[in-house]
Amino acid sequence: MAEEQAAEKRISIGKIYLKDFSFESPQAPEVFRHPEWKPKTNLNISSGHTALSDNQHEIVLTISVEAKHKDQTLFIAELQQAGLFELVGYDDDELSTIVGSFCPNTLFPYARETLSTLITKAGFPEFILQPINFDNLYAQSQKHREETVAGETEKKH
């Protein structure tokens, strides 16, 4: 019986694609005349999910990076790396975990390579986005959601 259930579950990647990308360096070319900066980066990551049919899902991983030196913006990059996934045979909890963790983990290497390449091509030093633990981020997100629901329930009583 367990073998039959496992055989019914399937994850297939239909397509991985760059949905949107924007890059700006508002201080160029002046920023390149003083290459002695020590930039601080602000990184934001989120993912979104759209069910296209019962089994087809679009997952979009959005990563934005802003690099500043003092109060001067060196560059802003935002990328939406997307994928079409066929997810068959999963209950709602399993589907939520796959969409919130597995799919972003799958998309992340593509997003990281694209960001690194384009930032370097824009004239900036090599940019290496460190690995991200999407399993942990998903768990934190679920915990926060549960705490929010529990807090709202307490307020009603």
Query: What mean pLDDT is predicted for residues 90-117?
Result: 94
Q: Give the fold, CATH level 3, of 2-156.
A: Bacterial Protein-export protein SecB (3.10.420)
Question: What are 5-50's pLDDT values in tens digits?
Answer: 556 899 999 999 999 999 999 989 988 887 677 889 999 999 999 9
- Are the C-beta atoms of 56 and 14 separated by less than 8 Å? yes
User: Tokens standing for 95?
Assistant: 């589907």
Beta strands at 40-51 and 10-24: parallel, antiparallel or unpaired:
unpaired
- Where are the chain's structural domains? 2-156
Separation of alpha carbons 74 and 65, rounded Å: 11
61 vs 69, which has greater pLDDT? 61
pTM of the model: 0.83
Contact predicate 46/59, CB 8 Å: no
The model's confidence at residue 2, banded by pLDDT at 50, 70 and 90, is low
Q: What tokens were used for 97? A: 């975990």
pLDDT digits (tens, 9 = 90+) for 112-124: 999 999 999 999 9
